[in-house]
Amino acid sequence: MNNQYDITVIGSGPGGYVSAIRASQLGYKVAIVEKYNTLGGTCTNVGCIPAKALLDSSEHYHQAQEQFKVHGINLDNLSLDFTQFIKRKSEVVRQNTSGLIYLMKKNKIDVYQGTGSFIDQTQIKVSTADQETMLTSKYFIIATGSKPSSIPGVIIDKKRIITSTESLSFSSRPESMIIIGGGVIGVELASVYARIGTRVTIIEYTESLIPTMDRELGKTLFKTLSKLNINILLKSKVQSATNTGSSATVNFINDEAKEQELTADYCLVAVGRRAYTDGLNLGAVGIETEKSGKIKVNEQLQTIVPNIYAIGDVIDGPMLAHKAEDEGTFVAEVIDGQKPHINYKLIPGVVYTWPEVASSGATEEELKAKGVEYTVGKFPYSASARARASMDTDGFVKVLVSPKYGEVLGVHIIGPRAADVIAQAVVGMEYEITARDMYHISYAHPTYSEALKDAYLQAAGQGAINI
C-alpha cells in the first residue's frame, strides 16, 4: 500500500465507516484504521446490532408464550435453545461486519488493523502486537467512539459485574440480574432477559425510566415493562456492587432513604458511556480532552487543529449511531468545500423495547422550562384498528404544536413500530410543515402511522377520525 492519503479515518464504527465511504465517493484517497479485529465499532459488534437481534428473538419467544393461543396457534413443549439464541445474534453480527469489508473494497478504502496514534499533524502510527505502520494524511477524522462507564463504588470486572458487552454473550441463561440504570441500554436489555425468564430488577437514580426523553414516555414504559414482571426501583441510589464469586450483591438507598441489598447472578452496569480516546496520543498535536473525556470541536466539527476533525461519541451530543453517521457525511462534505447541515434538535431517539419508544424535537418539560406555548395532540394505540389487529394496543402518539403558526415542536411515540413511524414526523419538523398540513396528507389504512394523523388533528383542535 502507498501510505499517503487525503483523508484517514480513525475508528470504523457508524461514524467512521460512513465518513470514509462518503469521502471516497467524493474522489478522495481514503484509509480507515481500526484497533479491533472486525470493522463496525461498538454498534455493529457489541451494541445496536446484536442487541436488536436478541430483542427480536426474545420478543418472538415471548409472543409464542403469551399470544399464540389467542391467534389459534397451539405449541406443545415450547422451549428456548439459549445456545441458538446467542448463536443467531452472532451470525447477524458476522453478516454485518462482512458487509462492511465488502463496502471498503468496493469504495477502494485501505483498511489498517491496529491502534492509531498521532505523531504530528500529518502523520499517525498504526501499531499492532508485532508491527508498526506509518501513515501520512492531509486530513484526519477521529471516530473512536465510546466505552461503558460506571459510578463510584461499582467496579466492572466483566465476570459478575458486567457491561452490555458481556450481557450479549452469556453461555447460559441467567436466573436473575440486577441492572443499574434505567436508560435506553438498561431497559432494552431488561426486556431481552425478562422475556426469556430471567428475574430482572432495574435500579434507576432518577424518578423516571429513560429520563432524557419526554416523561410521559417513561411513565408508560414503566407500566409495560412491569407486565414482564421486571422489578423497577426508581429514585434509588446505588452505593456499591460486589462480586461474591457465584453472584453479585448490590447495596443501594431506596426512595424512602433506607439502605437495601439485592443479590443476583449478575449485576449489569448501564449508566451511560464515556468518550474513548485512549492511545490516540492527542497531546502530540496539542488537542486536549474536556473533563467528560470528549474532544472539543467547532461548528464544522474541526478540532483545535484545522486538519483534524472529530465525530460521534467522542464529541458533544447524544451518543447515537445515526448521529455519528450524519456527522461522518457532514465532515467529508465540509472537507470537500460543501456546506452541509445537521439539525441536532431533530435527531430522533429510539428505545427498542416492545412497544418501541421514539422521540424527536422538544419535550413537554423543555417547552415548559422555556415558557414556550404549545398545544398537545394525543392519540392512544388502544383506539387504532391496526394495533388492535396485532394485539399491540399499549402506548400513544403525542405531538406538541405551536398554537400561533401550527409548527410541530415535538413528537413522542410509545407504541408498535415507533422507530419507523417517527421518520415521517422528523421530515415534517425538518421542513417546518404545519400540523394542519400533516393531517391533510393521506395515510394508508389500517396502519400504525394513522395514530400520527389523529394526534395532529387533536393538536389542531379537530377530533379523531380513525379507528
Catalytic residues: 445
- State yes or no: 145 annotated in a binding site: yes
Q: State the SS3 of 212-259.
A: CCCHHHHHHHHHHHHCCCCEEECCCEEEEEEECCCCEEEEEECCCCCE
- State yes or no: 313 annotated in a binding site: yes
Which of 13, 36, 208 has the alpha carbon at shortest distance from 96?
Answer: 13
- State yes or no: 450 annotated in a binding site: no
Q: Partners of 240 in the beta sheet?
A: 251
Cα dihedral 38→10→51→90 (10° resolution): 0
Which of 90, 93, 82, 89 has the alpha carbon at shortest distance from 198?
Answer: 82
Distance from C-alpha of 148 to C-alpha of 162, rounded to nearest angstrom:
10
∠ Cα 429 434 437 (to 5°)? 115
- State yes or no: 319 annotated in a binding site: yes
Which of 347, 291, 297 has the alpha carbon at shortest distance from 319?
Answer: 347
- State yes or no: 272 annotated in a binding site: yes
Chain-centre distance for alpha carbon 105: 28
- State yes or no: 349 annotated in a binding site: no
Cα dihedral 323→326→327→330 (10° resolution): -160
Q: Partners of 407 in the beta sheet?
A: 434
Distance from C-alpha of 243 to C-alpha of 157, rounded to nearest angstrom:
8
Which of 386, 385, 381 has the alpha carbon at shortest distance from 398?
Answer: 381
- State yes or no: 186 annotated in a binding site: yes
Residue 147, phi then psi, degrees to nearest 5: -130, 155
Q: Partners of 412 in the beta sheet?
A: 359, 398
∠ Cα 93 97 102 (to 5°)? 145
- State yes or no: 181 annotated in a binding site: yes
- State yes or no: 52 annotated in a binding site: yes
Binding site, annotated residues for FAD: 52, 116, 144-146, 313, 319-322
Binding site, annotated residues for NAD(+): 181-188, 204, 272
Binding site, annotated residues: 52, 116, 144-146, 181-188, 204, 272, 313, 319-322
